[in-house]
């Protein structure tokens, strides 16, 4: 019997080891350095990083890196994850303030999402925290990291994040585009002031809180008489303005020169790491082919101009003309909405800095990104390469964009994160949007407010399906969608609820978020009755019973294992019966012996 038990244990262990991923990455012995979490780690340091703009120095914060997943090019430091690798970084806080970093657009477990108190407590000064999680094919693309704590993003705690990977083999010009040289256009607005306070506010560019207080005072003066049922007319100006617009940390007074060669293919990765600013990109004499929106593949769309909103990203393929002359300059400008201000970088043929100068004020003023003619046109022209599969919607939400400047901003309610909201004790969101894993959910945003809003959902990519009642045949996949301004105009999105956790849904404009224009998407305990996650999953299927999700064990090995098990069972049965029969015979002999 002992041998039988041992054989069964050995058979069970063989069945478990075959095809299991438990030993993935294991090397050498348990004490080998390759098997510890800090192996091949990239350190992301949160530091004081003085910034000089137009010959004036500001004591701004910033991000520096050190390790295999950190690069610096064209004056921008960024996280660069090679194809097939996962995120393996550790944040080190060298600041005197606590903070927390969010990887915008990626799909980690929600406890690694970097949102204070919803995901985790903030990282205290002089502390280190490891973030290590799996990346998937749908994560390939252009993203960025930024602080989700107070106004730390605006203070400079942000950087691009690129996940490398090949395009699908059936994508047009895939082999050529895969070889394109990465060029980052990293856009920021810097040094805010409130329109109601005037340009003398925040002269040292380090006091975003004073700007927020001005907006808060304005709301306190009007909130008691606010008409939440009024569809406000679209606004014609901005409540928050900025002194500087930066591209790769510089203005056009000292633009970054990106050296290129005639005929070269570049992949312009545009990151709008702005607080409140949308940009109108103008490639000038160059044509660009848009291939990704917010890290999600789209059908090739060629143009010379593109809109990119707050926290959105674009991947654009540009071919430098084959007849371009040495020292020829191709400026790429980013114009600010409704303001005579622009920034940008210069593509320079050759390897010498250009002497050409460009002014930040050009006399060219573009409209608002959310203007109907631009918005419907743009979203209708951009079509997802991997749209979510058509299926019946399980859950529909209506979220009204209300109040002003983010206050009472979602369905007439504010939900503020610390430090604007309470931290001790932290209050969970009392009004979450609830879904079940596996459902198809849709959200319709109706804008009662005069401003546009950059609505961002964490942990998921979504399909833009409607704009102002205009149904998009196949809109883009995004994680940030810009709402039209006022008049109760609408925009609708749909997504697969396939990443259980607690996920913020909020306006990404810094001052609107601080005011509490935030709610959460949360998963209930019940499992969904249907399973259809489409081609654009953002997380593994956590409730699947489909055999395709199980370990691929060969059928012959299962048959052999079962056969051995049955054979051993009968052998054990026979051995057991023989054993007990012998014991009975011995007992009988002993009794007979005693009688004698």
Q: How far apart are CA 130 and CA 92, in angstroms?
A: 9
pLDDT digits (tens, 9 = 90+) for 424-460: 889 999 999 999 999 999 999 999 999 999 999 999 9
Confidence band of 545 (pLDDT split at 50, 70, 90) = very low
Question: CB of 155 within 8 A of CB of 126?
Answer: no
pLDDT at res. 571: 60
In a shared domain, residues 399 and 287: no
Residue 491 lies in a domain: yes
CA distances from 294 to 79, 89, 337, 452, 558 (A): 16, 22, 20, 19, 44
Quick check: is 477 in a domain?
yes
Residue given tokens 């059928």 in the structure block = 555
The verdict on 339 and 190 lying in the same domain is: yes
Quickly state the pLDDT bin for 559 (edges 50, 70, 90).
low
Q: Which helix (H) or strand (E) holds 182?
A: strand 181-194
**Same domain as 515, residue 567:** no
**Max Cα–Cα distance, the chain, nearest Å:** 125
The number of beta carbons lying within 10 Å of the beta carbon of residue 557 is: 13
Beta bridge partners, 333, equal: 282, 344
Statement to judge: residues 500 and 556 lie in one domain? no
Count other C-beta atoms under 10 Å from residue 197's C-beta: 17
For residues 564 and 522, membership in a common domain is answered with: no
Residue 159, domain member (yes or no)? yes
> Torsions phi, psi of 219, nearest 5?
-65, -40
**pLDDT tens digits for range 39-75:** 689 999 999 999 999 999 999 999 999 999 999 999 9
Q: Is 180 inside a domain boundary?
A: no
Tell me the CATH number at 258.
Answer: 2.60.40.420
CB atoms within 10 A of CB 325: 9
- With respect to residue 145, please indicate whether it lies within any of the assigned structural domains: yes
Asked if the structure places residue 527 within a domain, the reply is yes
**Residue 291: is its pLDDT beyond 60?**
yes
Mean pLDDT within 89-111 = 97
pLDDT band (50, 70, 90) for residue 185:
very high
- Domain that includes residue 579, residue range: 2-15+552-595
Q: What integer pLDDT is reported at residue 549 of this predicted model?
A: 29
pLDDT of amino acid 563: 59
Q: Note the pTM of the prediction, 2 decimals.
A: 0.84
Q: Which pLDDT belongs to residue 576?
A: 55
Q: Do 512 and 590 belong together in one domain?
A: no
Cis before 425 (ω within 30): yes
Q: What is the DSSP string of 71-104?
A: EEETTEEEEEE-TT--EEEEEEE-SSS-B-EEEE
Q: Number of structural domains, the chain?
A: 4
Are 157 and 252 in a shared domain? no
- Which residues sit opposite 141 in a β-bridge? 163
pLDDT at 21 over 80: no
Residue 374 lies in a domain: no
392 confidence band (pLDDT: 50, 70, 90):
very high
- Asked whether residue 539 falls in the same domain as residue 566, the answer is no
Mean pLDDT throughout 30-35?
Answer: 64
Give per-residue pLDDT as tens, 356-383: 889 999 999 998 887 744 555 578 889 9
> In this predicted model, which residue has the larger pLDDT, 539 or 377?
377
Q: What is the mean pLDDT of residues 513-538?
A: 73
Residues 559 and 538 in one domain: no
Same domain, 308 and 256: yes
Least-confidence region, from 89-98, 240-249, 418-427: 418-427
What is the chain's mean pLDDT, rounded?
A: 86
Least confident of 24-33, 156-165, 203-212: 24-33
Contacts (Cβ under 8 Å, ≥6 apart) of 276: 189, 192, 238, 240, 242, 310, 509, 510, 511
Same domain, 530 and 409: yes
Strands 101-104 and 87-93: unpaired
Residue 24 lies in a domain: no
> Up-side HSE of residue 50: CA atoms within 13 Å toward CB?
5
| Phi, psi of 56, deg, nearest 5 | -115, 130
- In this predicted structure, the answer to whether residue 542 has a pLDDT above a threshold of 50 is no
3-class secondary-structure state, position 78 = strand
- Based on the fold, state whether residues 285 and 395 are members of the same structural domain: no
> In angstroms, rounded to a whole number, what is the distance separating the alpha carbons of residues 150 and 153?
8
């Amino acid at each position: 019997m002992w041998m039988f038990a041992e054989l069964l244990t050995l058979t069970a262990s063989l069945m478990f080891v075959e095809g299991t991923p438990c030993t993935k990455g294991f090397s050498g012995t348990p004490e080998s350095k390759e098997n510890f979490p800090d192996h091949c780690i990239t350190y992301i340091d949160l530091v004081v990083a003085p910034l000089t703009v137009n010959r004036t120095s500001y004591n701004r914060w910033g991000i520096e890196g050190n390790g295999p997943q950190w690069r610096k090019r064209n004056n921008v430091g960024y996280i660069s994850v090679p194809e097939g690798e996962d995120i393996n970084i550790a944040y080190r806080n060298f600041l005197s303030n606590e903070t927390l970093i969010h990887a915008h657009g990626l799909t980690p477990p929600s406890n690694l999402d970097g949102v204070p108190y919803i995901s985790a407590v903030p990282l205290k000064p002089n502390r280190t925290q490891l973030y290590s999680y799996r990346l998937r094919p749908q994560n390939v693309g252009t993203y960025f990291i930024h602080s989700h704590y107070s106004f730390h993003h605006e203070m400079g705690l942000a950087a691009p994040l690129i996940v490398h990977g090949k395009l699908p083999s059936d994508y047009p010009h895939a082999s050529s585009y895969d070889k394109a040289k990465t060029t980052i256009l990293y856009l920021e607005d810097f040094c805010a002031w409130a329109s109601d306070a005037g340009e003398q506010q925040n002269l040292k560019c380090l006091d975003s809180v004073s700007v927020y207080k001005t907006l808060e005072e304005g709301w306190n003066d009007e909130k008691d008489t606010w008409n939440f049922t009024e569809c406000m007319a679209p606004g014609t100006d901005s409540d928050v303005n900025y002194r500087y617009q930066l591209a790769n940390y510089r203005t056009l007074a000292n633009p970054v020169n990106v050296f290129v060669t005639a005929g070269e293919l570049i992949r312009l990765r545009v990151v709008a790491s702005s607080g409140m600013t949308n940009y109108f990109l103008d490639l000038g004499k160059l044509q660009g082919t848009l291939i990704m929106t917010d890290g999600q593949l789209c059908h090739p769309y060629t143009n010379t101009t593109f809109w990119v909103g707050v926290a959105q990203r674009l991947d654009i393929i540009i071919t430098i003309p084959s007849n371009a002359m040495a020292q020829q300059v191709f400026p790429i400008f980013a114009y600010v909405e409704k303001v005579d201000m622009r920034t940008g970088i210069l593509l320079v043929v050759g390897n010498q800095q250009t002497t050409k100068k460009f002014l930040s004020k050009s006399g060219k003023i573009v409209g608002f990104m959310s203007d109907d003619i631009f918005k419907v046109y743009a979203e209708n022209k951009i079509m997802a390469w991997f749209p979510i599969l058509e299926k019946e919607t399980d859950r529909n939400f209506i979220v009204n964009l209300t109040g002003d400047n983010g206050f009472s901003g979602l369905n007439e309610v504010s939900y503020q994160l610390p430090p604007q909201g309470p931290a001790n004790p932290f209050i969970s969101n009392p009004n979450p949007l609830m879904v079940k894993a596996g459902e198809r959910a849709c959200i319709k945003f109706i804008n009662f407010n005069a401003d546009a809003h950059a609505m961002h959902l964490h942990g998921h990519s979504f399909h833009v399906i409607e704009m102002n009642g205009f149904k998009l045949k196949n809109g883009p996949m995004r994680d940030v969608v810009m709402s039209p301004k006022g008049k109760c105009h609408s925009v609708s999105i749909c997504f697969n609820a396939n990443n259980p956790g607690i996920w913020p849904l909020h306006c990404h404009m810094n001052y609107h978020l601080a005011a509490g224009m935030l709610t959460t998407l949360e998963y209930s305990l019940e499992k969904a009755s249907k399973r259809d996650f489409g081609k654009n999953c953002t997380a593994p299927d956590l409730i699947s019973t489909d055999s395709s999700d199980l370990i691929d064990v060969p059928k012959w090995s299962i048959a052999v294992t079962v056969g051995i098990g049955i054979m051993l069972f009968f052998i054990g049965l026979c051995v057991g019966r023989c054993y007990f029969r012998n014991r009975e015979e011995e007992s009988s002999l002993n009794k007979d012996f005693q009688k004698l």
